[in-house]
């Protein structure tokens, strides 16, 4: 049993959770699996 399944066994109501309305429009990198893994959370040091 993986951790997600174990979590759902202990907290079954979590299965009913839905992403918030603007989850994919406000954060487009969530919808694109390639962008999700290559996203940079902050500006490069040179710009800061």
Q: Give the tens place of pLDDT for each residue, 7-48.
A: 889 998 888 887 676 666 666 666 676 766 776 777 777 775
CA-to-CA distance for 45 and 47, rounded, in angstroms? 5
pLDDT score of 44: 75
pLDDT score of 46: 74
pLDDT score of 7: 87
Place of tokens 């996203």: 39
User: Which of 6 and 33 is assigned the larger pLDDT?
Assistant: 6
Answer yes or no: is pLDDT of 3 > 80.
Answer: yes
How is residue 26 written in tokens? 């406000």
The CA-based angle 4-6-10, given to 5 degrees, is: 115
Residue 39 · residue 29 · CB < 8 Å: yes
């Amino acid at each position: 049993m993986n951790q997600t399944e174990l979590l759902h066994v202990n907290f079954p109501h979590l299965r009913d959770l839905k992403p918030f309305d603007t989850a994919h429009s406000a954060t487009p990198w969530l919808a694109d699996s390639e962008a999700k893994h290559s996203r940079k959370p902050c500006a490069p040091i040179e710009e800061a």
